[in-house]
Amino acid sequence: MAKSQTKLKQIQRQALSPLQKLSGELLELSVDELNERIEKEKENNPYLEEIENNTQISSYTKLWNSSNEFDKDQINNNIPTTETLAEDLMNQLRLSNITEKEYKIGENIIGNLDEKGYLSRSLSAIIDDIYFDTYEDLDLSLVEKVLKLIQSFEPAGIAARTHQECLLLQLQRKDQKDTIVQLSEQIIKQYWEDFYSNHTKHLSQKLNCSEEDLNSALHLIQGLNLSPGYIDTSLEKEQYITPDILLWNDNGKIKYKLNRQSNKKLNISQDLKTLLGNLKRNQQNEETIKFLQEKITSTQLFIDAYNNRTQTLNNFMQHIVKYQENYFQDGDVMQLRPMKYEDIKKLTDYSESTISRIANDKYIQTHFGTFKIKKLFTKSIETQTGEQISTDTIRNIITELIESENKENPLTDQEILEHLQKEGIELSRRTISKYRQQLGIETSAKRKQI
């Protein structure tokens, strides 16, 4: 009978230090969540102090000087606040890369939004309003372009003209690869009457999907907001976006800075240090000395973790700005380089999980709009010449092709595919159809105008 043997195997595991663990937790937080965490820490530990900065600017409308020109010197002190939805939208409009004419159109559109956030006036009527005011006859396509821009602002669904459009605008912000999201969009686009009339019993047969998937899609749609313009004052803080990063173009040089809200100065209370020093000099009350030393240690741990977050975020943005410098010049999506976590990992030596923590739920405010940092990470497709091109760039090419097509003889997906092939981009026709659907563009047959 073979003897049983017990073998001991030594495995080395690297345990995270308290500082590494806390730094990782803070790095994952958005600027609003970080401020809540600091306030909570100050409540639990009165020896943590925040050094006040009296030079803060309370509103990012001050990014614009008296001549309504972009004031580059003030953006560093920007702390976004908002009083009304219209002011919020106007601030987003000012930060968009648009002409003066487009700005006037946008101002008129925002002024015609009702209390629920819907565009209550037709585009032709808006054209007439602007004509009577300026005697300038505008092209409908230009007004539609500005409307599309405003519909990309926060909150999602804003400036919709119908309930159907409002829901679609919100669904387009969600993961387009998710089958439930795709199914939800199909319901709203193709079976709106059935959904709106609550005739959903036979939708699973029409959609050729399971009852479970249908219920998931209906649940997703029912969770969307049919009144995007309505802001409950008790939820206003959650609904408004405070960017973590402020970025601008200074005569061709891209500059950035952390929002002051996420770059505070924390310190250990001087009163605590003085008290501890007096006790040590008198060599009395050892229990109190021990307690105060523990408080200093925990306070310093939080400050170090907070400073680590700041340093990591700064280092991350330095490499992002360098990597995407051409894109940051004016926000041209054609200049957006394909970028994966792995690319930034090679430049920073940060792990992909660290990069994910940085990019997740954090916003960057630029001179051409405010968006999630995560949006900068895009997939790529290799051209015949070996060049890497981002999928966002491909979508933009498709959009431009369709916008400039002959409306009486619109481009089919096959014709779009052939155009891309001439540019050295090899895709399948099915992929073209998928991209077109993601952009919310109908088939050539439905786009045809007689």
In a domain, 282, yes or no: no
Show the CA angle centred on residue 191, arms to residues 188 and 196, nearest 5°. 75
Residue 401 sits in a domain of what CATH number?
1.10.10.60
Contact 432, 419 (CB under 8 A): no
Q: Which residues contact 191 (CB under 8 A, 6 or more apart)?
A: 203, 206, 207
Two tokens at 32?
Answer: 């609003």
Residue 110 sits in a domain of what CATH number?
1.10.10
Identify the pLDDT of residue 315.
93
Two tokens at 214?
Answer: 């249908």
Two tokens at 410?
Answer: 């619109």
Same domain, 185 and 142: no
- State the Cα–Cα distance between residues 248 and 76, nearest whole angstrom: 10
Identify the pLDDT of residue 294.
82
Residue 108: count other Cβ atoms within 10 Å of its Cβ: 18
In a domain, 178, yes or no: yes
Identify the pLDDT of residue 128.
84
Amino acid in position 195? F
Residue from 382, 397, 380, 290 nearest 337 by CA: 380
Same domain, 88 and 140: yes
Query: Based on the number of CB atoms within 10 Å of its own CB, is 390 exposed (0-12), middle (13-18) or buried (19 or more)?
Result: buried
Same domain, 167 and 214: yes
Same domain, 169 and 190: yes
Q: Which residues contact 76 (CB under 8 A, 6 or more apart)?
A: 246, 257
In a domain, 61, yes or no: no
| Count, residues in the chain | 450
Q: Which of 213, 239, 265 is the last residue of a domain?
A: 239
The string of pLDDT tens digits covering residues 125-155 is 898 888 877 778 889 999 999 999 999 988 8
Same domain, 85 and 148: yes
Residue range(s) defining the domain that contains residue 143: 81-155+232-239
Query: Based on the number of CB atoms within 10 Å of its own CB, is 204 exposed (0-12), middle (13-18) or buried (19 or more)?
Result: middle
Q: Could you tell me the maximum CA-CA distance found in the chain, to the nearest angstrom?
A: 104
In a domain, 408, yes or no: yes
Same domain, 384 and 429: yes
In a domain, 133, yes or no: yes
pTM over 0.85, yes/no? no
Identify the pLDDT of residue 236.
42
Regions in the chain scoring below 70 on pLDDT: 1-16, 52-83, 231-240, 262, 272, 283-284, 333-334, 379-388, 450
Contact 352, 341 (CB under 8 A): yes
Residue from 189, 330, 194 nearest 249 by CA: 330
Same domain, 143 and 85: yes
| Residue given tokens 């309930």 in the structure block | 163
Query: Among positive and negative, which fits the CA dihedral 12, 18, 20, 22?
Result: positive
Identify the pLDDT of residue 372.
84
Q: How many domains does the chain fold into?
A: 3
Same domain, 171 and 125: no
Same domain, 170 and 136: no
Query: Based on the number of CB atoms within 10 Å of its own CB, is 110 exposed (0-12), middle (13-18) or buried (19 or more)?
Result: buried
Same domain, 146 and 167: no
Same domain, 95 and 139: yes
Identify the pLDDT of residue 325.
92
Q: Which residues contact 190 (CB under 8 A, 6 or more apart)?
A: none
In a domain, 250, yes or no: no
In a domain, 420, yes or no: yes
Same domain, 189 and 211: yes
Identify the pLDDT of residue 76.
36
Identify the pLDDT of residue 254.
92
Identify the pLDDT of residue 15.
54
